[in-house]
Structure 1
Amino acid sequence: MPTFDADTTEINAFKVKDAGLYIFSQYFDQEEVFDELREWYDSEQYRFEVPTDEMDRVESFLDEYFYEVTRVATDDIETFCVVKRKYTDHADILRNSVYHTSQGNNTVFVMQDRPSAEQAVEQGATYLADTDIEFNL
């Protein structure tokens, strides 16, 4: 019986503390995938916001289309976070973020994945861990 290894696309879903949901950002080029997840899509924030009690179903569905979902706990989010001074160029950073918020004179970004965080640092951001800013999603 032939076997094959399919390439999967990794999606990090970030648990939002005290909100009972996970957020993630992913472009789905298959219309049927997006249609299945449409009810949780926030078109203003360009992300999916899935209630915790629906995540098992969403993961199973996405697995059928070769998406691998990794749930990132609130305590493990720091390695995905970068900080950039407000009012500086951050369009490319924003494009690869799942969430952003202002904190004083800075903007904190939760990036889709670690390579996006590394790229943001190359574009002038700083890892959250290298700042004195406290942040919880």
Structure 2
Amino acid sequence: MSTFDVDTTEITAFEVEDADLYIFSQYFDTDEIFTELREWYNSEKYRFEVPTAEIDEVDDFLGEYFYDLQRVSPNEIEPFCVVKPKYTDHADILRNSVYHTSRSDQNVFVMQDRLSAEQAVEQGATPLADADVSFRL
């Protein structure tokens, strides 16, 4: 019997504690996948919002298409977060974020994955761990 390894695409899904849901951002190049997930897509925020009770169903479905859903709890979110002063250019950072908000004079971004967070730092953002800002999703 032959076996083979298949590369999977990792999707980071962030648990939103008080809302009892997970959020993630992912472009699917297959209409079939997007059609199946459409009920959870928030077109105004360009992200998927899946109730906690339904995340296993979404995870199983995505696994069939070689996507690996990585769930991140609110306590593990810090490496995905960056901060940038308000009123500074942040369009490229915003494009790769799943969520953003303001805290005093700072914008806080939850990036879609660790690579996006690293790229945001290269574009002038500060890791949340190094900023004088508290944030919890």
Paired letter, 1:60: D
How high is the sequence identity, in percent, across the aligned residues?
Answer: 72
1:117 maps to 2:120 = no
Paired letter, 1:53: A
Q: TM-score, normalised by structure 1?
A: 0.98
Paired letter, 1:65: Y
Q: What is the Cα deviation at residue 3 of structure 1?
A: 2.2
1:88-99 aligned within 5 A: 88-99=88-99
Q: What is the Cα deviation at residue 7 of structure 1?
A: 1.2
Once residues 44 and 84 of structure 1 are traced to their aligned partners in structure 2, the CA distance between those partners, rounded to angstroms, is: 22
Once residues 130 and 83 of structure 1 are traced to their aligned partners in structure 2, the CA distance between those partners, rounded to angstroms, is: 9
- The residue aligned with 2:60 is 60
1:29-40 aligned within 5 A: 29-40=29-40
1:75-86 aligned within 5 A: 75-86=75-86
Q: What is the Cα deviation at residue 21 of structure 1?
A: 0.0
- The residue aligned with 2:6 is 6
Paired letter, 2:61: F
Once residues 44 and 113 of structure 1 are traced to their aligned partners in structure 2, the CA distance between those partners, rounded to angstroms, is: 20
* Unaligned 5+ runs, structure 1: none
Once residues 85 and 26 of structure 2 are traced to their aligned partners in structure 1, the CA distance between those partners, rounded to angstroms, is: 26
1:135 maps to 2:135 = yes
* Unaligned 5+ runs, structure 2: none
- The residue aligned with 2:19 is 19
Runs of 4+ in 1 over 4 A off after TM superposition: none
Once residues 120 and 41 of structure 2 are traced to their aligned partners in structure 1, the CA distance between those partners, rounded to angstroms, is: 25
Give the secondary-structure state (helix, strand or coil) at the position aligned to 1:132: coil
Q: What is the Cα deviation at residue 104 of structure 1?
A: 1.2
Paired letter, 1:21: L
Paired letter, 1:97: S
Give the secondary-structure state (helix, strand or coil) at the position aligned to 1:18: helix
1:72 maps to 2:52 = no
Compute the RMSD of aligned alpha carbons.
Answer: 0.7
Q: For 1:6-51, what per-residue CA distance to the aligned partner results, in whole angstroms no more than 9, with x for missing partners?
A: 1110000000011100000000111110011100100011000000
Aligned residues: 137
Q: What is the Cα deviation at residue 56 of structure 1?
A: 0.4
